[in-house]
């Protein structure tokens, strides 16, 4: 029988490091593969989102995750008409052109959802929260376009930073809240939008979209936004 001497022990010990080294190399390889995979996926997602936001209103196709189409709201139709030209954008464009509202009504998509901005001079007199009788019909038409949508709707009031100076309102904040509330009441009472899915919010002068440093900018800040909320926001609504 061959004896196990010190030379054999040294030989075995000298080769053990190869096992540790190979394990370490394998783990490093897996680690870098995972990092590369994650970075590639995120890069693709960001590219898709950036491209979609840039193209959502120019008539080209968009792709965000598993959804695709001709525009972000392309799949949302009203119940009265199912033609391919009956998207929310096309109906708003038609309404804006027919009533010469190009400088009064605009729309966009942001992280909250689909936002329709109404210049305050369209609906209200200066310092007033009462919707002008001759523009109530315009607001109802906009509401009818949105009525069939299942999304939550938030009406947001905004003002500029010029202090309110009348006996009816104590602050711009109060004015913005009452304006938003009056718009909601028309959408609920006249358009018959479900009151459980619509709300009013007032931000006053504290959420300007441009600096209040000119008459033109202050006019842009005085507005009412009708926000068709992204479905991701549903989970934050109470009683859901």
Give the residue extent of every domain in the chain: 1-72, 77-236
Q: What is the pLDDT of residues 105-126, one digit of tens each?
A: 999 998 889 999 999 999 999 9
pLDDT of amino acid 216: 93
pLDDT along the chain (240 residues), means of 10: 54 65 82 72 54 47 39 42 61 94 92 93 94 95 92 95 90 96 97 95 95 95 95 67
pTM: 0.65
Q: 153-158 and 67-69: which strand pairing?
A: unpaired
CA distance 148 to 6: 87
77-236 folds as 60s Ribosomal Protein L30; Chain: A; (3.30.1330)
CA distance 129 to 132: 9
Q: 153-158 and 198-204: which strand pairing?
A: parallel
């Amino acid at each position: 029988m061959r004896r196990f001497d010190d030379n054999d022990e040294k030989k075995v010990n000298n080769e053990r490091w190869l096992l540790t080294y190979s394990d370490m190399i394998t783990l490093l390889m897996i680690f870098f593969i995972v990092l590369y995979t994650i970075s590639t996926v995120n890069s693709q997602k960001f590219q898709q989102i950036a491209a979609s936001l840039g193209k959502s209103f120019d008539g080209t196709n968009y792709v965000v995750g598993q959804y695709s189409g001709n525009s972000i709201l392309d799949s949302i139709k009203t119940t009265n008409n199912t033609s391919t030209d009956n998207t929310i954008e096309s109906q708003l464009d038609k309404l804006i052109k027919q009533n010469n509202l190009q400088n009064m009504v605009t729309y966009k998509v942001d992280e909250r959802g689909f936002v329709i901005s109404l210049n305050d001079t369209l609906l209200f007199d200066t310092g007033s929260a009462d919707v002008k009788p001759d523009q109530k019909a315009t607001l109802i038409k906009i509401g009818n376009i949105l009525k069939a949508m299942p999304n939550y709707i938030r009406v947001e009031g905004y003002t500029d930073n010029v202090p309110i100076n009348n006996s009816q309102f104590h602050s711009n904040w109060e004015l913005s809240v009452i304006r938003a509330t009056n718009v909601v009441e028309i959408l609920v009472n006249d358009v018959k939008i479900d009151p459980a899915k619509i709300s009013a919010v007032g931000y006053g002068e504290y959420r300007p979209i441009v600096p209040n440093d000119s008459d033109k900018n202050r006019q842009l800040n005085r507005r009412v936004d009708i926000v068709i909320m992204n479905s991701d926001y549903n989970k934050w609504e109470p009683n859901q």
